[in-house]
Amino acid sequence: MIDAKLNARLFSAASLVRQDAVFADIGTDHAYLPIFLLKVGRISRAYATDINSGPLASARANVEAAALSDRVSFMLTDGAAALSGEGVTDYAICGMGGELIADIIERAPHLRCGEVRLILQPMSRQEHLRRYLCSHGFAIRSESYSYDGGKYYTCIMSEYVGECRELTELEALVGIEKCQFLNTGARIGYLEAKLSSLERARAGRLSSGAEDRTDIIISALRELISDVKNSKSNNGEETI
Protein backbone atom coordinates (compact mmCIF):
# COMPACT_ATOMS: atom_id res chain seq x y z
CA MET A 1 0.00 0.00 0.00
CA ILE A 2 1.20 3.49 -0.86
CA ASP A 3 2.01 6.03 1.88
CA ALA A 4 -1.60 6.94 2.57
CA LYS A 5 -3.95 5.77 5.28
CA LEU A 6 -7.67 5.84 5.65
CA ASN A 7 -9.98 4.47 8.30
CA ALA A 8 -12.06 1.41 7.43
CA ARG A 9 -15.25 3.47 6.95
CA LEU A 10 -13.69 5.79 4.37
CA PHE A 11 -11.70 2.94 2.80
CA SER A 12 -14.98 1.21 1.95
CA ALA A 13 -16.04 4.41 0.15
CA ALA A 14 -12.67 4.79 -1.61
CA SER A 15 -12.85 1.24 -2.94
CA LEU A 16 -16.08 2.08 -4.81
CA VAL A 17 -14.57 4.99 -6.77
CA ARG A 18 -13.81 4.04 -10.37
CA GLN A 19 -10.31 4.15 -11.82
CA ASP A 20 -9.69 7.55 -13.49
CA ALA A 21 -13.01 8.93 -12.29
CA VAL A 22 -13.60 12.67 -12.19
CA PHE A 23 -14.23 12.66 -8.48
CA ALA A 24 -16.06 14.98 -6.09
CA ASP A 25 -16.19 14.65 -2.31
CA ILE A 26 -19.27 16.48 -1.02
CA GLY A 27 -18.89 17.48 2.63
CA THR A 28 -15.18 16.72 2.43
CA ASP A 29 -14.21 18.15 5.85
CA HIS A 30 -10.57 16.94 6.23
CA ALA A 31 -10.30 15.85 2.53
CA TYR A 32 -8.90 12.45 3.56
CA LEU A 33 -10.84 10.70 0.79
CA PRO A 34 -9.55 12.75 -2.19
CA ILE A 35 -6.04 12.80 -0.73
CA PHE A 36 -6.02 9.01 -0.44
CA LEU A 37 -7.46 8.47 -3.94
CA LEU A 38 -4.91 10.84 -5.49
CA LYS A 39 -2.03 9.23 -3.62
CA VAL A 40 -2.92 5.69 -4.68
CA GLY A 41 -3.44 6.79 -8.31
CA ARG A 42 -7.13 5.92 -8.49
CA ILE A 43 -7.93 9.47 -9.67
CA SER A 44 -5.86 12.33 -11.04
CA ARG A 45 -8.06 15.30 -10.08
CA ALA A 46 -10.71 15.97 -7.46
CA TYR A 47 -13.28 18.47 -6.29
CA ALA A 48 -13.50 18.92 -2.53
CA THR A 49 -16.59 20.77 -1.36
CA ASP A 50 -18.11 21.72 1.96
CA ILE A 51 -20.93 23.95 3.17
CA ASN A 52 -18.79 25.29 6.01
CA SER A 53 -15.63 27.36 5.71
CA GLY A 54 -13.88 25.78 8.74
CA PRO A 55 -13.90 22.22 7.33
CA LEU A 56 -12.95 23.54 3.88
CA ALA A 57 -9.96 25.37 5.40
CA SER A 58 -8.93 22.14 7.10
CA ALA A 59 -9.29 20.32 3.74
CA ARG A 60 -7.06 22.93 2.05
CA ALA A 61 -4.43 22.65 4.77
CA ASN A 62 -4.33 18.83 4.51
CA VAL A 63 -4.19 18.91 0.71
CA GLU A 64 -1.36 21.47 0.85
CA ALA A 65 0.51 19.34 3.37
CA ALA A 66 0.17 16.39 0.99
CA ALA A 67 1.56 18.55 -1.86
CA LEU A 68 -1.59 17.95 -3.93
CA SER A 69 -2.95 21.50 -4.22
CA ASP A 70 -2.60 21.59 -8.01
CA ARG A 71 -4.92 18.58 -8.31
CA VAL A 72 -7.82 19.59 -6.05
CA SER A 73 -10.45 22.28 -6.67
CA PHE A 74 -12.17 23.54 -3.53
CA MET A 75 -15.74 24.82 -3.42
CA LEU A 76 -17.61 26.38 -0.52
CA THR A 77 -21.11 25.28 -1.43
CA ASP A 78 -24.27 23.60 -0.17
CA GLY A 79 -24.63 20.11 -1.62
CA ALA A 80 -23.75 18.99 -5.14
CA ALA A 81 -25.80 21.31 -7.39
CA ALA A 82 -22.89 23.71 -8.06
CA LEU A 83 -20.93 20.89 -9.69
CA SER A 84 -23.42 20.51 -12.53
CA GLY A 85 -21.51 20.92 -15.81
CA GLU A 86 -18.11 20.06 -14.30
CA GLY A 87 -18.12 16.53 -15.75
CA VAL A 88 -17.88 14.78 -12.39
CA THR A 89 -18.46 11.03 -12.77
CA ASP A 90 -18.15 9.77 -9.17
CA TYR A 91 -19.60 11.59 -6.18
CA ALA A 92 -18.91 10.64 -2.56
CA ILE A 93 -21.35 11.93 0.05
CA CYS A 94 -20.10 10.39 3.27
CA GLY A 95 -20.34 10.82 7.01
CA MET A 96 -23.76 12.52 7.05
CA GLY A 97 -27.26 11.40 8.02
CA GLY A 98 -29.28 9.45 5.45
CA GLU A 99 -31.90 12.19 5.24
CA LEU A 100 -29.33 14.89 4.51
CA ILE A 101 -27.69 12.72 1.84
CA ALA A 102 -31.11 12.13 0.20
CA ASP A 103 -31.79 15.86 0.35
CA ILE A 104 -28.45 16.68 -1.31
CA ILE A 105 -29.23 14.22 -4.13
CA GLU A 106 -32.75 15.60 -4.53
CA ARG A 107 -31.41 19.16 -4.92
CA ALA A 108 -28.91 18.19 -7.64
CA PRO A 109 -30.95 17.03 -10.68
CA HIS A 110 -27.80 16.44 -12.75
CA LEU A 111 -27.12 13.38 -10.57
CA ARG A 112 -30.07 11.67 -12.28
CA CYS A 113 -27.82 10.41 -15.04
CA GLY A 114 -26.78 6.81 -15.75
CA GLU A 115 -23.12 7.80 -16.14
CA VAL A 116 -22.85 9.15 -12.61
CA ARG A 117 -21.88 6.93 -9.68
CA LEU A 118 -22.99 7.86 -6.16
CA ILE A 119 -20.98 6.58 -3.21
CA LEU A 120 -23.05 7.22 -0.11
CA GLN A 121 -22.04 6.53 3.44
CA PRO A 122 -24.95 7.33 5.78
CA MET A 123 -24.23 7.56 9.51
CA SER A 124 -27.91 7.21 10.40
CA ARG A 125 -31.36 6.70 8.80
CA GLN A 126 -29.98 4.29 6.19
CA GLU A 127 -33.53 3.02 5.66
CA HIS A 128 -34.66 6.50 4.62
CA LEU A 129 -31.82 6.79 2.11
CA ARG A 130 -32.46 3.34 0.57
CA ARG A 131 -36.17 4.12 0.24
CA TYR A 132 -35.41 7.54 -1.26
CA LEU A 133 -33.01 6.12 -3.85
CA CYS A 134 -35.25 3.27 -5.00
CA SER A 135 -38.40 5.42 -5.17
CA HIS A 136 -36.59 8.12 -7.20
CA GLY A 137 -35.17 6.02 -10.03
CA PHE A 138 -31.81 5.06 -8.51
CA ALA A 139 -30.65 1.45 -8.31
CA ILE A 140 -28.58 0.27 -5.36
CA ARG A 141 -25.74 -1.64 -7.03
CA SER A 142 -23.74 -2.61 -3.97
CA GLU A 143 -23.29 -2.11 -0.26
CA SER A 144 -19.84 -2.31 1.26
CA TYR A 145 -19.61 -2.85 5.01
CA SER A 146 -16.96 -1.81 7.47
CA TYR A 147 -16.23 -1.95 11.19
CA ASP A 148 -14.59 1.17 12.51
CA GLY A 149 -14.16 2.59 16.01
CA GLY A 150 -16.51 0.00 17.51
CA LYS A 151 -19.33 0.57 15.01
CA TYR A 152 -20.55 -1.04 11.80
CA TYR A 153 -21.13 1.07 8.71
CA THR A 154 -22.48 0.56 5.23
CA CYS A 155 -21.42 2.40 2.09
CA ILE A 156 -24.02 2.33 -0.68
CA MET A 157 -23.09 2.54 -4.35
CA SER A 158 -25.98 3.74 -6.48
CA GLU A 159 -26.65 4.76 -10.09
CA TYR A 160 -29.64 6.31 -11.84
CA VAL A 161 -31.67 3.87 -13.94
CA GLY A 162 -34.98 5.73 -14.16
CA GLU A 163 -37.05 2.87 -12.71
CA CYS A 164 -38.75 3.33 -9.38
CA ARG A 165 -39.70 0.73 -6.83
CA GLU A 166 -40.91 0.67 -3.24
CA LEU A 167 -38.84 -1.35 -0.80
CA THR A 168 -40.11 -3.81 1.76
CA GLU A 169 -39.43 -3.01 5.41
CA LEU A 170 -36.56 -5.51 5.50
CA GLU A 171 -34.99 -4.18 2.28
CA ALA A 172 -35.11 -0.63 3.60
CA LEU A 173 -33.62 -1.72 6.91
CA VAL A 174 -30.69 -3.79 5.67
CA GLY A 175 -30.44 -3.59 1.87
CA ILE A 176 -31.73 -5.32 -1.21
CA GLU A 177 -30.76 -8.95 -1.67
CA LYS A 178 -30.23 -8.43 -5.42
CA CYS A 179 -27.35 -6.02 -4.96
CA GLN A 180 -23.75 -7.03 -4.35
CA PHE A 181 -22.60 -7.11 -0.74
CA LEU A 182 -18.94 -6.54 -0.01
CA ASN A 183 -17.24 -7.72 3.20
CA THR A 184 -19.54 -10.43 4.49
CA GLY A 185 -17.90 -10.47 7.94
CA ALA A 186 -18.73 -6.82 8.58
CA ARG A 187 -22.14 -7.32 6.96
CA ILE A 188 -23.04 -9.96 9.54
CA GLY A 189 -21.96 -7.56 12.30
CA TYR A 190 -24.04 -4.80 10.73
CA LEU A 191 -27.12 -7.07 10.54
CA GLU A 192 -26.63 -8.29 14.11
CA ALA A 193 -26.32 -4.72 15.37
CA LYS A 194 -29.62 -3.87 13.64
CA LEU A 195 -31.23 -6.95 15.19
CA SER A 196 -30.02 -6.06 18.71
CA SER A 197 -31.34 -2.54 18.31
CA LEU A 198 -34.77 -3.82 17.18
CA GLU A 199 -34.86 -6.38 20.00
CA ARG A 200 -33.94 -3.78 22.64
CA ALA A 201 -36.63 -1.39 21.38
CA ARG A 202 -39.20 -4.20 21.36
CA ALA A 203 -38.30 -5.32 24.90
CA GLY A 204 -38.61 -1.71 26.10
CA ARG A 205 -42.04 -1.31 24.54
CA LEU A 206 -43.32 -4.63 25.86
CA SER A 207 -42.04 -3.99 29.39
CA SER A 208 -43.85 -0.65 29.47
CA GLY A 209 -47.07 -2.29 28.27
CA ALA A 210 -46.99 -0.51 24.89
CA GLU A 211 -48.09 -2.18 21.67
CA ASP A 212 -45.33 -3.69 19.54
CA ARG A 213 -45.55 -5.16 16.07
CA THR A 214 -41.90 -5.68 15.26
CA ASP A 215 -41.95 -9.47 15.78
CA ILE A 216 -42.31 -10.11 12.02
CA ILE A 217 -39.37 -7.94 10.96
CA ILE A 218 -37.27 -9.34 13.81
CA SER A 219 -37.93 -12.94 12.64
CA ALA A 220 -37.19 -11.96 9.01
CA LEU A 221 -33.90 -10.38 10.08
CA ARG A 222 -32.93 -13.44 12.17
CA GLU A 223 -33.59 -15.64 9.15
CA LEU A 224 -31.53 -13.38 6.89
CA ILE A 225 -28.59 -13.45 9.31
CA SER A 226 -28.71 -17.23 9.39
CA ASP A 227 -28.83 -17.36 5.55
CA VAL A 228 -25.89 -14.97 5.21
CA LYS A 229 -23.85 -16.97 7.73
CA ASN A 230 -24.56 -20.19 5.83
CA SER A 231 -24.00 -18.75 2.37
CA LYS A 232 -20.69 -18.55 0.59
CA SER A 233 -22.09 -16.30 -2.15
CA ASN A 234 -21.84 -12.51 -2.36
CA ASN A 235 -18.62 -12.64 -0.42
CA GLY A 236 -16.61 -9.96 -2.21
CA GLU A 237 -13.82 -8.04 -0.57
CA GLU A 238 -12.85 -4.43 -1.14
CA THR A 239 -9.63 -3.65 -2.89
CA ILE A 240 -7.81 -0.56 -4.00
Least distance between ligand SAM and beta carbon 155 (Å): 10
* 122 in contact with ligand SAM (CB under 6 A): no
Report the alpha-carbon distance of residue 238 to residue 183 in Å, rounded: 7
To ligand SAM, the closest distance from the beta carbon of 16 in angstroms equals 13
C-alpha distances out from residue 92 to 49, 50, 119, 127, 202, Å: 10, 12, 5, 18, 35
Site string (134-173) toward ligand SAM, x via CB under 6 A: ----------------------------------------
Window contacting ligand SAM (CB under 6 A); options: 26-34, 147-155, 184-192, 212-220: 26-34
Alpha helices in the chain (DSSP H): 8-14, 32-39, 53-65, 98-106, 126-135, 169-174, 184-207, 215-230
The percent of the chain in helix, strand and coil, each rounded to the nearest 5, is 40, 25, 35
Shortest reach from residue 4's CB to ligand SAM, in Å: 15
Task: Please work out the total of residues on this chain that contact ligand SAM, with binding judged by CB under 6 A.
Answer: 17
Q: How far is the CB of 14 from ligand SAM (least distance, A)?
A: 11
Quick check: 155 and 129 in contact, CB under 8 A? no
Q: What's the CA gap between 183 and 193, in Å, rounded?
A: 15
**Could you tell me which residues are beta bridge partners of residue 120?**
93, 156
CB nearer to ligand SAM: give 50 or 143: 50
Question: Strands 151-160 and 117-124: what pairing?
Answer: antiparallel
Number of Cα atoms under 13 Å in the Cβ half of residue 21: 25
Question: Residue 52 or residue 226: which is nearer to ligand SAM going by CB?
Answer: 52
Q: How far is the CB of 107 from ligand SAM (least distance, A)?
A: 8
Options 104, 129, 134, 155; binder of ligand SAM; rule CB under 6 A: 104
Site for ligand SAM in 44-103 (CB under 6 A): 49-52, 55, 78-79, 94-96, 100
Of the residues 6, 16, 29, 117, which one makes contact with ligand SAM according to CB under 6 A = 29
Residue in 12, 29, 6 with CA at minimum distance from that of residue 156: 12
Of residues 5 and 229, the one with the C-beta less far from ligand SAM: 5
What are the residues binding ligand SAM (CB under 6 A)? 10, 26-29, 49-52, 55, 78-79, 94-96, 100, 104
